[in-house]
Structure 1
């Protein structure tokens, strides 16, 4: 999961960044609203965590401009301002949630997971595809209740595929979500991760195919029944 954090207080920013990274998230952080606005428009994030009291432009203005620019990335306002009218204004301007400081780290993580799930059209923490279950909260994977042990990068790929199930994802998108632009390896490393992930899923499911290659474009997660039905439908037509 890739997060953009816009928070001007250095100590608070470092603390939040540590919490998110310990939960396996890739975090890009900035202290300025203008930077957050430009980065948020330029890159693909799962969520933006936004403070209101920024030194250059107000966080509410950042939110308004993001929505005016048709940026649909979910936004969690994280602010020390507790007034009810501000919460109402924030939600009305396009925020998906409003959490006040000080906050409990477990609540912060739970809200982030819930927002990202809802934005992707999933109502609970477990995303099911065929017999495959991906638990976003515990970062675990199982097949019919039997755990499938993945590396951090393998899980990150499967999590992104699950959140955007049925959508073709490019290798560049995987790199951005796994590395956040920092020390990115070559694109072909994604093929290696996908190959290893496929083998583990095949072993756990009796050779069912969940990850489909879309030649020249990337990869997509589908229910094995859908993957098998597609060629048959093409032949019938």
Structure 2
């Protein structure tokens, strides 16, 4: 998942970026409120973390402005020593969650995943579509209980498709989520990833799950047809990096 971190304190930024990268997020960083507003309006993020006390704009102002601009990206606010009134103000401005610093790294990652999946209409970390199951916490995929061996990039593509089921995703959107604008390969690599992912799903009895919208991108179909025979069902549950 792709996330925007809005934080102007260098020490906090370095620590948070390390935690988020270890949690598997692709992260962009904004050091000011005005930069954050522009980035949220122009780029497609799954989540944003906004520090309440950034220098140029109050965190609540950032949230209010992006909400007025009809930006629906889920926003988690972080702050140290905030009052109940501060928390109420952030929720009234349009925040989705609030976490006090210093926070536990695992708690932060868990909250981020919870907010992200709830924003897409999923109440738990285990999502089942037909005979396909995705465990967002374990970053694993299963077909009728049998693990599907996916690389890190293949899983990330499948997760994005599942969380945005029914939405056409362009190759550029996949590249942004996989690489965050850094050292991006050519767009044709997405076709390669999709081809390999489809083959592995088909080997495990799942066919026609990922649809191609010619000239636009790929979409996870609302309904798909399981194939009648599963081949090569015995695989490791590990997802390779």
TM-score w.r.t. the length of structure 2 is 0.90
In structure 1, the residue matched to 2:237 is none
Name the SS of the counterpart of 1:53 in structure 2.
coil
The superposition leaves residues 5-62 of structure 1 with CA deviations (integer Å, 9 ceiling, x where unpaired) of 0011112111111111112110001221111111111100000000011111111111
In structure 1, the residue matched to 2:209 is 210
Following TM superposition, by how much is the alpha carbon of 1:86 offset from its aligned partner in structure 2, in angstroms? 0.6
Following TM superposition, by how much is the alpha carbon of 1:171 offset from its aligned partner in structure 2, in angstroms? 0.7
Following TM superposition, by how much is the alpha carbon of 1:81 offset from its aligned partner in structure 2, in angstroms? 3.5
The superposition leaves residues 48-105 of structure 1 with CA deviations (integer Å, 9 ceiling, x where unpaired) of 0000111111111111101011100000001114200111110111000000101011
Count matched residues. Answer: 225
Structure 2 unaligned spans of 5+:
227-241
Over the aligned positions, Cα root-mean-square deviation in angstroms equals 1.3
Name the SS of the counterpart of 1:89 in structure 2.
helix
Following TM superposition, by how much is the alpha carbon of 1:210 offset from its aligned partner in structure 2, in angstroms? 1.1
Aligned counterparts of 1:4 and 1:25: Cα–Cα separation in 2: 10
Aligned counterparts of 1:3 and 1:57: Cα–Cα separation in 2: 20
Aligned counterparts of 2:106 and 2:11: Cα–Cα separation in 1: 19
In structure 1, the residue matched to 2:135 is 135
Q: Does the aligned pair in 1 maintain the 2:140–2:147 contact within 8 Å?
A: yes
Structure 1 residues 26-41: aligned runs within 5 Å: 26-41=26-41
1:168 and 2:168 are equivalent in the alignment: yes
Aligned counterparts of 1:198 and 1:52: Cα–Cα separation in 2: 43
7-16 vs 42-51, which deviates more? 7-16
In structure 2, the residue matched to 1:67 is 67
Aligned counterparts of 1:35 and 1:204: Cα–Cα separation in 2: 45
Q: Does the aligned pair in 1 maintain the 2:198–2:207 contact within 8 Å?
A: no
Name the SS of the counterpart of 2:5 in structure 1.
strand
Following TM superposition, by how much is the alpha carbon of 1:225 offset from its aligned partner in structure 2, in angstroms? 3.9
Aligned counterparts of 1:30 and 1:167: Cα–Cα separation in 2: 27
Structure number with the higher helix fraction is 1
In structure 2, the residue matched to 1:43 is 43
Aligned counterparts of 2:215 and 2:127: Cα–Cα separation in 1: 27
Name the SS of the counterpart of 1:134 in structure 2.
strand
Name the SS of the counterpart of 2:67 in structure 1.
helix
Structure 1 residues 70-219: aligned runs within 5 Å: 70-205=70-205, 208-219=207-218
Aligned counterparts of 2:22 and 2:37: Cα–Cα separation in 1: 25
Aligned counterparts of 2:101 and 2:22: Cα–Cα separation in 1: 20
Aligned counterparts of 2:70 and 2:124: Cα–Cα separation in 1: 26
Runs ≥4 in structure 1, deviation > 6 angstroms?
Answer: none
Aligned counterparts of 1:152 and 1:177: Cα–Cα separation in 2: 12
TM-score w.r.t. the length of structure 1 is 0.92
In structure 1, the residue matched to 2:229 is none
Q: Does the aligned pair in 1 maintain the 2:78–2:98 contact within 8 Å?
A: yes
